[in-house]
Structure 1
Amino acid sequence: MTDIAMPPEFSPEGDSSALKRRSAMGAVITMGGQGSKFVLQFGSQVALARLLLPTDFGLLAMVGPLVAAALLMTDLGLSAATIQRPTINQTELSSLFWLNVLIGFCLAGLAVAAAPLAAIFYATPAVTPVMMAMSAALLLSSLAAQHLALLNRRMQFGAIAMIEVGALVAGVIVGVGGALAGFGYWSLVAMQITNGLATLILACVFSRWRPSRPGISRDALHLLRFGGTVTGYNLLGYLITNLGNILIGARFGAGPLGIYDRAYKLMFQPLWQMTAPAARVAVPLLSRLAGDDAGYRSAYLAMLGGVLTLTTPGILCAIVFAKPVIVVLLGERWLDVVPTFAWLGGAALTLQLRQAASWLFVSQGRAKEQLKWGGLGSAAIIIGYLIGIFWGPKGIAMSAAISSALVQIPMMWWAVTRSGPVTRADAIQLAIPIAFATAITGGLLALAAREPIWSSLPMLAVAGILAYALFIGALALFPNGRAQLSKAGGIVRRLAKR
């Protein structure tokens, strides 16, 4: 192919109003997909927890951090560069694809070579074959990265939702089937690889894009600077997410690590599903709204307010009712998960704030600032981990919650609102009613939790409904809170008419 401008369909068309409508529809489509994913992931996690042992999950959790770091390096922020750029041509996009593939092959080879060393580090021989097998995920991810980035750039969120749900269905069938057949931790490995393979196949089908012949143009190399900076920040997120696993696995072994891993997945996987619609549309929408300060500010605050209203009551419910949640969903043998699960809920309350600050940094082209301030905040969390490990998995979860709330999040928000369309005053006006509603709801739920009636799935559902009712009622006590609820209701009504 020749070096020509991308066809118009490679970027979404329209003014700010059209882009907002498209992003809103994208959020609804993504939410529908995430609902399906939530049912599949949650159901499969509960089923696998009853079919497999903590040591099975612990073994995968030992390999997981190493593979996750390699996956970040495989992408090297090149997907973010594709999404964020105002224009991109075939030569640049094809070059990014081949860069992804080259890096993926190199890292897969490195993972295979490093597998015996990882087994020595964890003193667990089974790590070697598992890590070698998981290297296939690196190849699959590198091949799919630019196809998925292109769909995201085009704001084709329906296609992305179908890819994710289809790949998850394939993975769950293989994983649960393997567990039922007695394959133990290999069923978890097969589940991950199947998901990656299905993602690649479906991404190629839906994107309808093919790279040019192998080659990397000099014009595309400047995108590595932006992508590399984004990757640096993502690696900090990786450390925050996975360093706890590494420390627990190295110090206490697969059993305690399996307990921590289940607590982490049970808390954060539903949260990721709930925030995915906004996360999916945020950067492409805000990047297209650059130059329209009022439109940018309005879109961002609406997304963040919606995310906080959607996620905070559920997290509070999980924290307060941690014991019945674990017993009902995972069973009595997982009771040791309870304190770790509750403290991870504290960390979850701040996770969406970190992610939302990243939307501002990336969409405004301020990746270097994000790396700087995110790095300082991450250093505080890492120091907390090194202290908390002396108290085991619970200590890791506790340190994550405290250091994130007191250091990382305030630092990142102070930095990101120093310039740009979204000011500190905007952030404070949004945060005050959310903070008070959180405190009121948490206190009332704690009073309700004293009654010994919550040890069944229907009563946990009642607790969840109660949490959302209390939060919305408390939010409505404040003028800014009522404005947030009104905006959310208006969006829902407009979408219902479409």
Structure 2
Amino acid sequence: MSDAVAAPEAPSMFSPEGDAQALKKRSAMGAAMTLAGQGAKFVLQFGSQVALARLLLPRDFGLLAMVGPIVTAALLLTDLGLSAATIQRPRISQRELSSLFWLNVLIGCGLAGAAVLAAPLAAAFYKTPAVMPVMATMAIALLLSSLAAQHLAILNRRMRFGAIALIEVGALVVGVIVGVSAAFSGLGYWSLVAMQIANGAATLLMAWGFSGWRPSRPGIDRDALHLVRFGGTVTGYNLLGYLITNLDNILIGARFGAGPLGIYDRAYKLMFQPLWQMTAPAARVAVPLLSRLADDAAEYRKSYLAMLGGILALTTPGILCAIVFARPVIVVLLGERWAASAPIFGWLGVCALTLQLRQAASWLFVSQGRAEEQLKWGGLGSAVVILGYLVGIFWGPKGVAVSAAVTSGLVQIPMMWWAVTRSGPVSRADALRLLLPLIVATAVSGGVLGLLSGAAIWSSFGGLVLAVLVAYALFGAALALFPSGRAQMRRAIGMARGFRRA
């Protein structure tokens, strides 16, 4: 696209067209494509985790987990919430998009340089010299991300979820091939670095190719700066999320070293990466869809509750199974030398039961343009979680996992939902009607699984598959006891049929 494309956008270029039903149909199609892509990603990521866990040592993973929080924070600052501004804004012009692109690149270059300069300080903080070259090399990932951010945001805004799924799967394939090959060659932790950089490079190339968009000449238009305020507020909230999901790594790495951090990191990744894959279809379409339905309260409410109910019904039985059978899951999948991560894995599962509600509350805040409220209430809840980390660290990695589960489930999530349902199309009564049957089904099926967990049958791969089937059967039966639960199951089945037709 040339510089001649200026002020008003052509709607078909940057936004999907159609009424509420057309947008919901497109969302169903996009969710189906994303679901297929996430299935492929789940197989690739899960397989690579198992393979790399058997090829590398806990210290190798711990070293990358030391650098990971710093790089993640820099990635958030590189984006500065500008992708969210691109997706949420009702109309956007070529000048504004191009300005956001060059702003992303400028920030990315600055943060990459800062990462290189800060690498010796990070190595001194962790008392691990190997951190310095790894962190300096990972600065490349910041540059790659800044160059791809707006192209991915445009695809998301236009609800081209099939293209995004292809980009993610293709980039992951490239990264896994590079990483596993390097591990087989004996490169140790450098294989993990190479995997991430290869993934970023492939994402960049495919994002530019699929989006078809090109920025104008370098420059930042003054009219586009009003988008930075919205993006900055979103970034503030994302940084709070970053603290919650990375401060645990920082504390464990600084206090106990790379080995214990590697044990904790494998438990965390094994719990949350499959969960992210399962929830990605709805998470991907939620904000674009809800932003387009903001003027139709009934459709907004119906779409949101259907997505959230479907996600919780899909993921909760699997999480319960992981909690109850934590040790067999770790030993069967990763091997006996990772058995120390089993109790950590179980408590992280308790945290995972409620963590999805935090993400779902964020959909409401962002799609309704309430980013400042999200920052305020998310900040209060995050402060409590961080305080829990500082207390839990005295009991080691397991203590951190326990504190995350308690503070998130009892303080942060209830606080955010109290705030987000004070106004807007989704009320507290709507939330309670949705969640009550799910809470009862969780308690009933979790209790029965606990009674069955003592049998030796579960200590094999086939036994774990059977445990998953039993968990979903118990949860579905308990949910069906409630009229609203049955209605929720019908909605989930309807969504599945829509995905299949799409």
Give the C-alpha shift of residue 352 in structure 1: 0.6
Residue 313 of structure 1 corresponds to which residue in structure 2? 317
Residue 8 of structure 1 corresponds to which residue in structure 2? 11
Residue 333 of structure 1 corresponds to which residue in structure 2? 337
**1:358-383 CA deviation, whole Å, 9 max, x = no partner?**
00000000000000000000000000
Residue 447 of structure 1 corresponds to which residue in structure 2? 451
Q: In the alignment, residue 484 of structure 2 is paired with which amino acid?
A: N
Q: Is residue 342 of structure 1 aligned with residue 357 of structure 2?
A: no
Give the C-alpha shift of residue 447 in structure 1: 1.1
1:282 and 1:264 map into 2 onto residues whose CA distance is: 25
Residue 138 of structure 2 corresponds to which residue in structure 1? 134
Q: In the alignment, residue 5 of structure 1 is paired with which amino acid?
A: P
2:498 and 2:408 map into 1 onto residues whose CA distance is: 37
1:85 and 1:427 map into 2 onto residues whose CA distance is: 27
Residue 457 of structure 1 corresponds to which residue in structure 2? 461
2:417 and 2:380 map into 1 onto residues whose CA distance is: 13
Residue 81 of structure 2 corresponds to which residue in structure 1? 77
Paired residues for 1:112-191 under 5 Å: 112-191=116-195
Q: In the alignment, residue 225 of structure 1 is paired with which amino acid?
A: R
Paired residues for 1:361-376 under 5 Å: 361-376=365-380
Asked if 1 retains the 8 angstrom alpha-carbon contact of 2:31 and 2:499, the reply is no
Amino-acid identity (%): 76
**1:195-221 CA deviation, whole Å, 9 max, x = no partner?**
000000000000000000000000100
**1:299-357 CA deviation, whole Å, 9 max, x = no partner?**
00000000000110010000000000000000000010011000000110111100000
Could you state the TM-score of these two structures normalised by the residue count of structure 2? Answer: 0.99
**1:393-444 CA deviation, whole Å, 9 max, x = no partner?**
0000000000001100000000000000000000000000000000011001
Paired residues for 1:152-301 under 5 Å: 152-301=156-305
Give the C-alpha shift of residue 109 in structure 1: 0.2
Residue 41 of structure 1 corresponds to which residue in structure 2? 45
Give the C-alpha shift of residue 5 in structure 1: 1.8
Asked if 1 retains the 8 angstrom alpha-carbon contact of 2:252 and 2:261, the reply is yes
1:210 and 1:243 map into 2 onto residues whose CA distance is: 37
Residue 109 of structure 2 corresponds to which residue in structure 1? 105
SS at match of 1:222: helix
Could you state the TM-score of these two structures normalised by the residue count of structure 1? Answer: 0.99
Q: Is residue 391 of structure 1 aligned with residue 395 of structure 2?
A: yes
> Which range moves more in the overlay, 73-82 or 488-497?
488-497
Q: Is residue 468 of structure 1 aligned with residue 468 of structure 2?
A: no
1:289 and 1:149 map into 2 onto residues whose CA distance is: 19
Residue 29 of structure 1 corresponds to which residue in structure 2? 33
SS at match of 1:421: coil
1:392 and 1:43 map into 2 onto residues whose CA distance is: 29
**1:161-203 CA deviation, whole Å, 9 max, x = no partner?**
0000000000000000000000000000000000000000000
Asked if 1 retains the 8 angstrom alpha-carbon contact of 2:437 and 2:479, the reply is yes
Match for residue 401 of structure 1 among 405, 408, 417: 405
Q: In the alignment, residue 11 of structure 2 is paired with which amino acid?
A: P
2:37 and 2:272 map into 1 onto residues whose CA distance is: 17
Q: In the alignment, residue 418 of structure 1 is paired with which amino acid?
A: R
2:245 and 2:268 map into 1 onto residues whose CA distance is: 9
Equivalent pairs counted in the alignment come to 498
SS at match of 2:456: coil
Q: Root-mean-square deviation (CA), in Å?
A: 0.7
Q: In the alignment, residue 192 of structure 2 is paired with which amino acid?
A: L
SS at match of 1:6: coil
1:287 and 1:394 map into 2 onto residues whose CA distance is: 40
Give the C-alpha shift of residue 450 in structure 1: 1.1
SS at match of 1:204: helix
> Which range moves more in the overlay, 1-10 or 208-217?
1-10
